[in-house]
Copies of this chain bind each other. A is one copy, B any other.
Amino acid sequence: MDIELQRVVDGVDVAREEVLDDDRLEDWPGFFVEKGRYRITTAENYERGLPLPIIYADSRAMLADRVSALRHANIYEAQRYRHTVSSTLVERVDADTARATSNFQVVRIMHTGESMLFASGRYLDRIRLNGEGGEAMFEERVVVLDSRAIDTLLAIPI
Protein backbone atom coordinates (compact mmCIF):
# COMPACT_ATOMS: atom_id res chain seq x y z
CA MET A 1 0.00 0.00 0.00
CA ASP A 2 1.58 3.29 -0.97
CA ILE A 3 0.70 6.53 0.76
CA GLU A 4 -0.10 8.53 -2.36
CA LEU A 5 -2.55 5.85 -3.53
CA GLN A 6 -4.23 5.78 -0.11
CA ARG A 7 -4.59 9.56 -0.24
CA VAL A 8 -6.29 9.46 -3.65
CA VAL A 9 -8.71 6.73 -2.55
CA ASP A 10 -9.52 8.46 0.75
CA GLY A 11 -10.07 11.69 -1.14
CA VAL A 12 -12.74 10.36 -3.47
CA ASP A 13 -14.49 8.56 -0.64
CA VAL A 14 -14.59 11.54 1.72
CA ALA A 15 -15.91 13.77 -1.07
CA ARG A 16 -18.64 11.19 -1.75
CA GLU A 17 -19.54 11.08 1.97
CA GLU A 18 -19.89 14.87 2.08
CA VAL A 19 -22.29 14.83 -0.84
CA LEU A 20 -24.50 12.19 0.77
CA ASP A 21 -24.42 13.64 4.28
CA ASP A 22 -25.11 17.17 2.99
CA ASP A 23 -28.10 15.95 0.99
CA ARG A 24 -26.49 16.93 -2.33
CA LEU A 25 -27.60 13.63 -3.82
CA GLU A 26 -27.61 14.92 -7.40
CA ASP A 27 -23.81 15.12 -7.23
CA TRP A 28 -23.41 11.53 -6.12
CA PRO A 29 -23.62 9.71 -9.49
CA GLY A 30 -20.69 11.85 -10.65
CA PHE A 31 -18.38 9.82 -8.40
CA PHE A 32 -18.94 6.81 -10.65
CA VAL A 33 -17.58 6.14 -14.13
CA GLU A 34 -20.22 6.05 -16.86
CA LYS A 35 -20.59 2.27 -16.66
CA GLY A 36 -20.07 2.25 -12.89
CA ARG A 37 -21.79 -0.41 -10.81
CA TYR A 38 -23.37 0.10 -7.39
CA ARG A 39 -24.81 -2.71 -5.38
CA ILE A 40 -26.14 -3.01 -1.82
CA THR A 41 -26.33 -6.50 -0.40
CA THR A 42 -26.23 -8.19 3.00
CA ALA A 43 -23.32 -10.07 4.56
CA GLU A 44 -25.48 -13.20 4.57
CA ASN A 45 -26.22 -13.06 0.84
CA TYR A 46 -22.71 -11.99 0.00
CA GLU A 47 -21.13 -14.93 1.81
CA ARG A 48 -23.55 -17.40 0.25
CA GLY A 49 -22.85 -15.95 -3.18
CA LEU A 50 -26.53 -15.15 -3.66
CA PRO A 51 -27.09 -12.64 -6.45
CA LEU A 52 -29.85 -10.85 -4.61
CA PRO A 53 -28.82 -7.26 -4.16
CA ILE A 54 -31.21 -4.95 -2.33
CA ILE A 55 -30.27 -2.20 -4.76
CA TYR A 56 -28.48 -2.56 -8.06
CA ALA A 57 -27.37 -0.12 -10.73
CA ASP A 58 -24.88 -0.60 -13.54
CA SER A 59 -24.51 2.91 -14.94
CA ARG A 60 -24.28 6.50 -13.82
CA ALA A 61 -27.60 7.12 -15.58
CA MET A 62 -29.34 4.50 -13.40
CA LEU A 63 -27.90 6.12 -10.29
CA ALA A 64 -29.19 9.49 -11.44
CA ASP A 65 -32.63 7.95 -12.03
CA ARG A 66 -32.61 6.60 -8.52
CA VAL A 67 -31.80 10.00 -7.04
CA SER A 68 -34.52 11.56 -9.14
CA ALA A 69 -37.06 9.00 -7.90
CA LEU A 70 -36.03 9.75 -4.32
CA ARG A 71 -36.63 13.46 -4.83
CA HIS A 72 -40.08 12.85 -6.24
CA ALA A 73 -41.01 10.43 -3.50
CA ASN A 74 -40.21 13.39 -1.29
CA ILE A 75 -38.90 11.39 1.61
CA TYR A 76 -35.36 12.72 1.52
CA GLU A 77 -36.04 15.80 3.64
CA ALA A 78 -37.18 13.71 6.55
CA GLN A 79 -33.75 12.23 7.23
CA ARG A 80 -30.03 12.80 7.04
CA TYR A 81 -27.04 10.49 7.23
CA ARG A 82 -23.70 10.88 8.95
CA HIS A 83 -21.02 8.48 7.73
CA THR A 84 -18.02 7.18 9.62
CA VAL A 85 -15.54 5.35 7.43
CA SER A 86 -12.48 3.62 8.87
CA SER A 87 -9.93 0.86 8.44
CA THR A 88 -9.43 1.39 4.72
CA LEU A 89 -7.14 -1.02 2.90
CA VAL A 90 -6.00 -0.08 -0.60
CA GLU A 91 -4.27 -2.27 -3.14
CA ARG A 92 -3.15 -1.32 -6.61
CA VAL A 93 -4.50 -3.60 -9.34
CA ASP A 94 -2.71 -1.99 -12.28
CA ALA A 95 -1.57 1.46 -13.40
CA ASP A 96 -5.17 2.71 -13.72
CA THR A 97 -7.05 0.81 -11.05
CA ALA A 98 -7.10 0.13 -7.32
CA ARG A 99 -9.16 -2.06 -5.03
CA ALA A 100 -10.17 -0.79 -1.63
CA THR A 101 -12.11 -2.12 1.34
CA SER A 102 -13.28 -0.15 4.34
CA ASN A 103 -15.64 -0.33 7.29
CA PHE A 104 -18.54 2.07 7.58
CA GLN A 105 -21.19 3.11 10.05
CA VAL A 106 -24.11 5.33 9.15
CA VAL A 107 -26.01 7.33 11.74
CA ARG A 108 -29.46 8.41 10.58
CA ILE A 109 -30.90 11.67 11.89
CA MET A 110 -34.64 12.14 11.51
CA HIS A 111 -36.29 15.49 10.98
CA THR A 112 -37.59 15.27 14.54
CA GLY A 113 -34.01 15.25 15.82
CA GLU A 114 -34.02 11.60 16.78
CA SER A 115 -30.84 9.84 15.70
CA MET A 116 -29.78 6.21 15.62
CA LEU A 117 -27.08 3.91 14.37
CA PHE A 118 -28.73 2.96 11.11
CA ALA A 119 -26.32 0.72 9.24
CA SER A 120 -22.86 -0.80 9.44
CA GLY A 121 -20.85 -2.89 7.05
CA ARG A 122 -18.07 -2.99 4.56
CA TYR A 123 -17.41 -1.20 1.28
CA LEU A 124 -15.74 -3.26 -1.45
CA ASP A 125 -14.55 -0.87 -4.13
CA ARG A 126 -12.87 -0.90 -7.49
CA ILE A 127 -11.57 2.55 -8.32
CA ARG A 128 -10.38 4.02 -11.60
CA LEU A 129 -7.54 6.33 -10.64
CA ASN A 130 -7.76 8.59 -13.66
CA GLY A 131 -11.40 8.92 -14.60
CA GLU A 132 -12.90 11.81 -16.53
CA GLY A 133 -11.07 15.07 -15.84
CA GLY A 134 -8.30 13.11 -14.12
CA GLU A 135 -10.48 12.41 -11.06
CA ALA A 136 -10.54 9.09 -9.23
CA MET A 137 -13.94 7.44 -9.69
CA PHE A 138 -15.74 4.29 -8.64
CA GLU A 139 -15.92 1.54 -11.25
CA GLU A 140 -17.74 -0.53 -8.68
CA ARG A 141 -18.89 -0.14 -5.12
CA VAL A 142 -20.40 -3.10 -3.33
CA VAL A 143 -22.01 -2.18 -0.01
CA VAL A 144 -22.18 -5.23 2.25
CA LEU A 145 -24.58 -4.54 5.09
CA ASP A 146 -23.94 -6.38 8.34
CA SER A 147 -27.61 -6.73 9.09
CA ARG A 148 -30.49 -7.83 6.91
CA ALA A 149 -32.92 -5.92 9.15
CA ILE A 150 -32.39 -2.71 7.19
CA ASP A 151 -33.69 -3.83 3.80
CA THR A 152 -36.99 -2.08 3.60
CA LEU A 153 -35.86 1.20 5.12
CA LEU A 154 -33.24 2.22 2.58
CA ALA A 155 -33.86 5.54 0.94
CA ILE A 156 -30.65 7.56 0.56
CA PRO A 157 -27.67 5.64 -0.87
CA ILE A 158 -25.31 4.30 1.75
Contact = CB atoms under 8 A, between A and B. Distances in A.
Interface of A: 1, 3, 7, 11, 13-14, 17-18, 21, 43, 80, 82-89, 103, 105, 107, 109, 112-117, 120-122, 146-150
14 contacts: A14-B88, A17-B87, A18-B87, A21-B122, A80-B146, A82-B105, A84-B84, A84-B103, A86-B86, A107-B146, A114-B149, A115-B149, A116-B117, A117-B117
B120 A107 contact: yes
A112 B42 CA distance: 13
Nearest to A105: B84
Most buried by B among A85, A114, A146: A146
A116 B149 CA distance: 12
B83 A85 contact: no
Nearest to A119: B115
